[in-house]
Structure 1
Amino acid sequence: MWDALVIETHTLPNVAIVGRPNVGKSALFNRLIGRKIAIVHDQPGITRDRLSATCTRGERPFTLWDTGGIFGAGERDLTQQVQHAAESALRDSNLLLFVLDGKEGLSSVDEELARMLRKSQKPVVLVINKIDTEKHDPLAVEFDSLGFEKIISVSAEHDRGISQLLDAIELQLPSPAEIDHPTLVGRGRGEGASNVEYPIAIAIVGRPNVGKSSLINSIVCGDRAIVSELPGTTRDAIDIAFQRDGRQFVFIDTAGIRRRGKVSSSAEVFSVMRAERSIRRADLCILVIDLSMGVTAQDKRIAGLIQKGRKPAIVVLNKWDLVKPRRGEKQSARELIEETRSRIFFLDYVPVLITSASTGENVDRLFAMIQKVQHAARKHIGTGVLNRLMRQAFEANPPPLVKGRRLKLFYATQPRNGGSQSAEGALK
């Protein structure tokens, strides 16, 4: 079943959800999209990267961005990166949904944000969230002082006021002629779709802090994913569209997968579950391993998830720049690849690439490898070849008796597009 993003040739307007942390931006995002994509939690700062999806609930579809909460001045480095990502979404958007917490009331950070949004000269809809019932309606009056014309009271949790918000959004959207950017517009093969291209969906998986987001940033040449020395920075599975040589890709930047005993919060539990789900929906997985630490038990567990999901894969040994000065270059690289294959012997057919995401070394080689692996995965094994192979396997390893009778192989065939396992892997 295809679950990659579909890219249409026409364009959609971008709408960004902005606001300080924990005002309900992710809950509103999920409500407008109609499914749970962003992690919702009562801990501030859960959304760290910007998520995007297509909203089709109203008359005009649009691309919706959920940004990390924008903090006031003086926060630490990671918070500054979150703010930078949110400000980047402001620049890329045609309309801003400024979300505030109706129950908490107006704060100095809200006022600081309002000044920043006015300077952007983008159309703004003020969304007063957590107005759950009519008795809460008077709470929204306080926000008139911010000076925005469009103010809508909603409850993202209870679906209250969402229809009115969609009407307000549609009135503010630019015409198609005013938009000049490509956009992601949906999932699935959509019957009757025309002029669409199905990109390769690639899940970037690995332990926390092995360089998954750095690798994606090196690939797309931009800070789309937040990079930090703090393990566990990426909490949502982020879909990042990218085009190279006329071919469409969607990179899924997942949260790092830890050992179950080391998952420290419920939000991180959700992230690990989402990372595992990303493996299932990907066309191909890239397992990133930290060369400076070698192959760990957790790396092998993640490799096992890829094998269990029957996914074509590539192993990327990252942080070569930290290891190379301590070892001879060519001989060392060969030894490291062979050592990796021996540690994850159950994926011995998977290609291994040594890279440095921070310097960009060998990153360009990844695309040729992706194309080669995808071609192998889609290769159809003829029925005659498959039956001969199965007969040889039965003769070499006869199956056990069942109720005193030997099992017989009558026929074997490979359905077209019936599986994701690499053809080379199937023949091993």
Structure 2
Amino acid sequence: MQSIILIGKPNVGKSSLFNRMAQKRIAITSEISGTTRDTNQTLIEIYSKKALLIDSGGLDEKDELFKNVKKNTLKVAKNSDIILYLVDGKLAPDDEDRKFFHSLKKLSKPIALIVNKIDNKKDEERAWEFANFGVKEIFNLSVTHNIGLDELYDWLDCFLKQSFSKDEEQSLEEEQNSLQNIDEHHIKVGIVGRVNVGKSSLLNALVKQERAVVSAIAGTTIDPVNESINYQNKTIEFIDTAGIRKRGKIQGLEYFALNRTEKILQKAQIALLVLDADEGFNELDERIAGLIAKHHLAVMIVLNKWDKAQRDFDATLKELKLDRFKFLAHAPIISVSALSGKRISVLLDKILELFENFIQKIPTAKLNALIEEATKTHPLPHDRGKVVKIYYAVQYDLAPPKIALVMNRPKALHFSYKRYLQNKMRENFKLEGVPLILVSRKKGQRDEE
């Protein structure tokens, strides 16, 4: 367990800060210099992170007793993880404090200068004089009036590692064990797109047989067609769905085909959104993509008829990811020719990859290490002056991955910060092609949605 030592000359308020951080009266405090001679220690919790807090004897050399106290204090400091050096803000900085501080700084540990007893405006003005210590980490405190501790806790949080109580560990284990069971050898793939983009031709190319009727007549496929193949020791079940037309053009059985397509997506795990690269893209393609996003499916965008298209691939990627399908920016885009069979094997390999991403279990330790680093790099904004903290994160479901952020103020998590965390997770975990669901909640809350 990490340790934090409070260190400084006698009578600067170390024991008072010790009691304040411990949230109980442990150390004896008095106006008599050198009241604390031996080290006191207690377990504290800062934003759900536990640490050992150590109150040390004062650094002084006025007699043999104090020289021994100082020697013991410096020994404990060398074995501590974080050092808080306290000075009396009502007094001017002195060379002895500066000397002690810089000798501790050479230990190459996180160290902060705590200017205590800053009780009024006059004290605040005087506190600026301590900037000549040459350290950025300076915190003005009034331990007596409980002022300034939030900023100190934010700084400490950057260096403390996440630790869980037995109840929390049990809760995390229960959530990990409650992840739904997925058949890792059976993949369900829905093929969707507007009429006449080549979905049936794509199915035939994937299963290597004339399974679906193909013609140039728009809407040839009315009933969904299922076919399974074995590939790399996996069973991939394809569903060739009826083409979707604009509602004004839906005729007869095609109305039922549209409804059946929706039901198929409810059962699918991966959606292949087929686009006609030769004809171009339109608003209906975007509406179909919205159905995929609605069902939180893994998705791959398939540019069919690429051999006929007179298009620049990079420009096409930009149009799809930055303009038409911003909400599917995580989806890989594959160009194929269903009729010639070009790049179909690439498509099959990508399906296996997306499925692994879709059903993955992210280790809790790695997830929390990432959250800790992300919040350290870009701290959470305060909520009306109150500190907002993520205590820990845990994956509570998969297919797609769903992450709960356990927080003190879950409603204060802004959508832009949530997007920042999602981007960080995508950078560090294999999440291409899958939606990533983040929810914020309080400790003990189980309603994730």
With a CA cutoff of 8 Å and minimum separation of 6, indicate the structure with the bigger relative contact order. Answer: 1
In terms of Rg, which structure is larger? 2
Which TM-score band (shorter chain)? Answer: 0.3 to 0.5
| TM-score in terms of structure 1 length | 0.47
Q: Scaled by the length of structure 2, what TM-score is found?
A: 0.45
